Amino acid sequence: MQKTKGGALSNSVGRPSPLIVKNGNGTPANDGVPTLLVENLSFSYPDGHSALRDVSLQINEYEKVALVGPNGAGKSTLMLHLNGILSGEGQVEVAGMRVTRSNLPVIRAKVGLVFQNPDDQLFSPTVFEDVAFGPLHMGLPKGEVRDRVARALEQVGLSDYADRLSHHLSAGEKKRVAIATVLSMDPEILILDEPSAGLDPRARRALISQLREFPITMLVSTHDMRLVHELFPRMVIMDEGRIVADGATDALMDDAELLETHGLERG
């Protein structure tokens, strides 16, 4: 399993995107540097089910973007393409580098993908070992690995947890350690699948404050529309394998018909 991280960049809680494209495809939010570029991506599972249909999406540096849509819309399938776990027709670029089979190790260091279930990401005895796994496998010197682990744990508010046993932590703590395991790789983009799922209100609030502070480009799939409202200036709606809307969260949240059509509720 890959492990990946997030660096000390300048903070940006995200810029509102002025653009709303309903039933459109691929909406660059602004003219900045694209950290993620997906062009005309289509994918069918081996059983023939078409899960992505001509998806195009651009996310620029430091943008924080929510990915929403009903179950089965294709959100997870799209995320699995961003670090090459799945590969469809079309093109995916991360920080200017095309995702291809030959550069997967580099791509996986650039794309910090955090799965919905932290148990899929935590497999070492201690928190330190889990968070150190990626940097160690990058061949970094031990001192640098220690620094990265300390920084990643600090970023998720768990500085004192290095010696704790990963599997004895609460759901919220596990989720934050899972995020630290990718932050320690210094990724270009952090991709989170349902980060607030299964968290109690206090753990959810703690996670939201952490995410708000992360100075990194983020794409986050979620059903938690309050989270979207609070954290993400831009929202992308998927349904039936397509991007059906991409624009400023406030504007899309005000479109009751759009939300209802795609099985969403206002946050």
C-alpha dist (Å) from residue 154 to 7, 89, 141, 252: 12, 39, 20, 34
Part of the chain binding ligand ADP (CB under 6 A), chosen from 14-22, 43-51, 212-220, 252-260: 43-51
Count of residues interacting with ligand ADP (CB under 6 A)? 12
Residue 76 touching ligand ADP (CB under 6 A): yes
- Asked if 35 and 61 count as a contact pair (C-beta separation under 8 A), the reply is yes
Q: Which of 8, 45, 96, 106 binds ligand ADP (CB under 6 A)?
A: 45
Q: CA-CA distance, 47 to 226, in Å (whole number)?
A: 35
Pairing, β 189-193 against β 217-221: parallel
Q: Which helix (H) or strand (E) holds 39?
A: strand 34-44
Q: How far is CA 84 from CA 19, 23, 77, 134, in A?
A: 29, 27, 11, 17
Query: Measured from the CB atom, is 69 or 195 closer to ligand ADP?
Result: 69
Mask of contacts with ligand ADP, 46-65, x by CB under 6 A?
-x-x-x--------------
Site for ligand ADP in 136-165 (CB under 6 A): none
Regarding 77 and contact with ligand ADP (CB under 6 A), the answer is yes
195 contacts ligand ADP (rule: CB under 6 A): no
Instruction: Please report how close the Cβ of residue 47 comes to ligand ADP at its closest, in angstroms.
Output: 5
Residues 6+ apart with CB under 8 A from 259: 252, 253, 265, 266
Nearest approach in angstroms of CB 246 to ligand ADP is 15
Exposed (0-12), middle (13-18) or buried (19+): which is 181, by Cβ within 10 Å? Answer: buried
120 is a contact residue toward ligand ADP (CB under 6 A): no
Token pair, residue 244, equals 């059906």
Q: Out of 71, 160, 163, 201, name the contact with ligand ADP by CB under 6 A.
A: 71
Task: Return the range that interacts with ligand ADP (CB under 6 A); candidates 23-31, 68-76, 146-154, 198-206.
Answer: 68-76
Residue 48 backbone zone (phi > 0: left; psi -120 to 50: alpha; other: beta): left
CB closer to ligand ADP, 10 vs 71: 71
Taking the least distance from each CB to ligand ADP, the nearer of 85 and 104 is: 85
Q: Where do contacts with ligand ADP occur on this chain (CB under 6 A)?
A: 45, 47, 49, 51, 69, 71-77
